[in-house]
Structure 1
């Protein structure tokens, strides 16, 4: 019997991240992303849900309750659930830097509050019954480098206040590990930040296979590199175990992804771990085997779904049905190997 848990989700933000109006890669609407997701099918298995970006043009963070219920109806109409939500915490959206002054911190916390409000509406609607709210420091590494200790201390303070808000709404927060985010840009700095916040029941880690591969290489933190170019297979798995042993106890949200060892940024998104197609011949990761390191004990950490992430793919690739079928097929292999019933 095939495993039925965790549920298989597709992310909606690849239609937005790195996309800009007036370019060859304009934003792809929520409606179209839902259509593409719902159409994918492999051996009778379909995507079971989506993870959702609370950001224009997909979503107005201040949308009325009726408008949000209409969005929930639309998603449910495709026989999809909503899992994790991404809070609009960045400058230029609702929020601002988690490392900034009091005004910036207040904006960051307002973005978390708005995400929790939307989560509550989706939960009461019934389209959402699991998942967390994703955040990051919304600050570049260069600013953090000016005073690392003070920067981490300030981000931790902001995250603790955000955890208070999440607690009040019965939500959990997942801090997204990615090399472009201050204080979260290496595996060691990410652990240090999580320990500084010290709210394991409310704030955990969101692991992405593509982003955490760059953790191994120490791209923005050479002193914390676990591998050097030209590493052997044995060296890779030793390093991977070191990293995942440190971060897995905190991991409450997980992205299946592929990386070719490069960094990439498009539009306003700073350079980060480059997502690749699931079957990319240049991919550095054995996706199924790597996923097992993160998903060990996942049910005990109340992980009920996993999500594909493929940011900054060309629109032409995103519009192909074969892209999504290949992704879904990979997700099924991950669940068959590491899931449960």
Structure 2
């Protein structure tokens, strides 16, 4: 089987590539990535020479390139993870999110439809999406697969649009699609623009830790390696035309999460407990900041037998240990343009 995996040099994608390359040596894994700021081939150094792995540099927004790629390699399946994914960046440059998340997804869908024609035997187009498409919850309730879409940011609107196009190709053309919507991921290889790796890096370097508003926003947190396992399950066991919500089965207020991270960092760095909490700085809240996300993962648990392998506390400690053991990786990704982005985003 030839599988095209888009965005495989990114955070989640690299963990999926590693899992599939190692677990399924009879599959040919083609990793297509544009290598934007968040794509890093260092994430895949351990599998780059595997006989069943091929890296392809390219842009999913280039329709001619995508069409030619599908014709050249005759892919049997697509696992689509490539996306612009940071809400703050979507507020600054929404059109970049439309180009990649909407137009790029449509290019892949069309190329798959044209290659496979009407013979969909053994074919799969698996689209990996986010729980942010559902909007914001109040103090109670959970997102289910039947929750109506209510995106609130340019990022979530672009992902919602891509989800709709995937389902439209299923209903209109019979394209064999599967969709999953996940909660916030964390773990190794995460580019430090998101809450946990950004805070971890700042604590390590005794810099202020920015927290939006009062830190009262609530998120469900999913360990990235558990997410890769869930993607494996959906790809192999999920039903065509179905959607699966994937969450970590926990909820944390941002400020409580940061307090826990500070305490773990104090322990790992040999600092007096409470030292890192002094670095917390509350900053102006993000425009349209959704209050609470929480996912009901019961469908994937009951139907596919998936479950998280770690508690959030266990996963966060593993994450801290990885970053402290991989300082060279962290230093490389936080040089240059990252510094300019950080100054513009958090020092206003």
TM range (shorter): 0.3 to 0.5
TM-score by length of 2: 0.36
Which of the pair has the greater relative contact order for Cα pairs under 8 Å at 6+ separation?
1
TM-score by length of 1: 0.37
